[in-house]
Every structure is written in structure tokens, then in C-alpha cells.
Amino acid sequence: MVLQWIKGHPQFLKNPLYIGGDSYSGKTVPIITQEVSEGNEVGREPPMNLKGYILGNPFTDPTYDVNSRIKFAHNMALISDALYESTKTNCKGEYVQVDPSNAPCVENLQEVTQCLQKINSPQILEPICSTMSPKPKGFKWDKNFVGENFLDMPHRYPEPWCRAYNYLFSFIWANDKTVQNALHVREGTIRDWERCNQSFSSSYAHDVRTSLDYHRNLTKKNLRALVYSGDHDMFVPYVGTEEWITSLNLSIDYTWRPWFVNGQVAGYTKAYTRKAYSLTYATVKGAGHAATEYNPRECFPMIDRWLSYYYI
């Protein structure tokens, strides 16, 4: 698809190409980046000016992403020291593929679940909305679900503000014909827009358990990578992301240090190298899953600096 787009827009052929995405794109972006890089190496036409890739809060490998949730919860004081140490010992650090006959481990994980089940995993400081959530599977756009009463909906429930209301409003925006015309959506190609369209999942095989091998391959190429994490995301915790980056065995370019926006600490960063390859890692302070949604004022200068000046 990237190649088709470039062929259809040849005026962008010489522009630097960075392939990026958030969340589940942690599985697909490294694959696409490797495919484009290898295509250039074998002389595929037209050649693309590939420079690197960008990943935010990326799903990479369940061994790191899911196992790290308990360590993250302990770091954030969501589970006690005693429960964390007991769980780590009894489960031997494995919380994904649990032996059901290991009764102490199973019991500990049940206690962990009791502590965490009412926590909003994408951003642990924000509320879980129990009323009129627009995100569950099966929720579809209803053309009749508009109007003044609908727009007043967030104010009619005795709950704190809920981020899910933003997702509901996106249905109005994306299904508006004026918006679709402005985006040059071809008439008839889509009937009703859905956020996180689940129908696509049935069309593809979920056969990539981990994208780590692709990352390892990319470290051998002349590429740049930016990986960032919202530090309040328990869905794909920064803890696991830092661990899989460490597993790449790269050299340290610069050590852990703060980065700033408008004179305030916006997060922390560390950089790695291997010959012509470089990887910059950054946390975004206070952000959830994914950081660009929660902290756009910090993420924009972060990415802009990295693209323009090679540092954050």
C-alpha cells in the first residue's frame, strides 16, 4: 500500500519516509519497515527514501508487554509490596502462561485482579465510565443518534468527565458528509465509519506473536527509531517496553535524562546506537495509551525535535 501511494504521488518520492504508528502498530510497523528496506536493497522501483520508524506505546511481545503490568502496578502503588513479592516468587515472574496447578500463583493473581479490575488500564488516573460507553464491541454509528440532547449527554450523567465521550463524538465527525468530502473519501467506498473496526481482524491471520525479531533485523540497517511510552499506561507499560529495548543489546548513546516543553519536565529519554542504527526512547509524563492522544502538546514537539534535530 505504501508503494502504491508513492506511485500515485510521485512528487513525494524524494521526501524522507518515516513509518509510524501507536499501540497494535507495534506489531505491524517493524514488519512494514523491514519490507520497505529490503525492497530498496533488491532494487524495487521506485526506491523509497526510508529514514526510520516511530512507535508509541507499542504492543511488541506479550512476554514483555503483559508480564510487565504487575511490575508497573507495583511501581504505581496499586498493589502492595507483600503481594508483589509473593506473586513474583510463586509465579516465577510468569503471569501470561500460568500453570493452573500452581495454586499459590493462581491465588496471588486473583488478589492482583481484585486490586486492578476497577482501574482504567489505558490511563490509571482517569475514571472507568460505566454509563453510555461508546467503545464496546458492536457499537455502531446510528444516524439518528444526534442532536442537541445527544450533545448534552456528557452533562446529564452524574459521573466525572470521561474520555470515552471523545470517541463518541468522533462518530459524528467522521460520518459527516462534509468531512468525508474534505478528506477525499471516495463515494460509496464506506457506508458507516467505525472507530477500531473489528471486521478487519477476521480477514487476517494473527500469526505474529512478537515483532522483536524484526526490531533486531532493523538494528543492522542505517535507520533511526523513536519509541515512546505514556508513563501512566498499564495496557502496554513503559516497564516492558524498556525491557525489550534492553534485550536488543545496543550501545548507550546518552543516559536517562529529562526532556522539556515550555520549561517543564515532559518526560524522560535515553538513546541507543549500533553502527549506523540509532534508537531514541522517551517517556511522556502523565500520558496514557497512547501518549499522542493524552498529551499532544508534549508529543508534537517531541516528535518534531527528533525529526529535525535528532534529539528530544
Question: How many whole angstroms separate alpha carbon 290 and alpha carbon 167?
Answer: 14
Under 8 Å between Cβ of 108 and 93: no
Under 8 Å between Cβ of 34 and 225: no
Residue of 25, 211, 233, 278 with catalytic role: 233
Residue of 22, 23, 61, 68 with catalytic role: 23
What cell numbers appear for 259 in the block?
526532556
Confirm whether 23 is a catalytic residue: yes
Question: How many whole angstroms separate alpha carbon 100 and alpha carbon 110?
Answer: 12
Question: How many whole angstroms separate alpha carbon 26 and alpha carbon 86?
Answer: 31
Question: How many whole angstroms separate alpha carbon 219 and alpha carbon 274?
Answer: 7
Residue 206 carries which DSSP code? -
Task: Kindly write down the DSSP assignment for every residue of 229-269, as one continuous string.
Answer: EETT-SSS-HHHHHHHHHTT-PEEEEEEEEEEETTEEEEEE
Ramachandran assignment for 61, one of left (phi > 0), alpha (psi -120 to 50 degrees), beta (any other): beta
Identify the helix (H) or strand (E) that includes residue 78. Answer: none
CA neighbor of 93 nearest in space, from 112, 70, 76, 114:
70
Centroid of chain to Cα 61: 13
Buried b (16+ CB within 10 A) or exposed e, 225-251: bbbbbbbbbbbbbbbbbbbbbeebebe
What's the N-to-C CA distance of the chain in angstroms? 30
What cell numbers appear for 294 in the block?
493524552
Confirm whether 289 is a catalytic residue: yes
Residue of 74, 215, 232, 289 with catalytic role: 289
Residue 280 carries which DSSP code? E
Which residues are catalytic, by number?
23, 233, 289
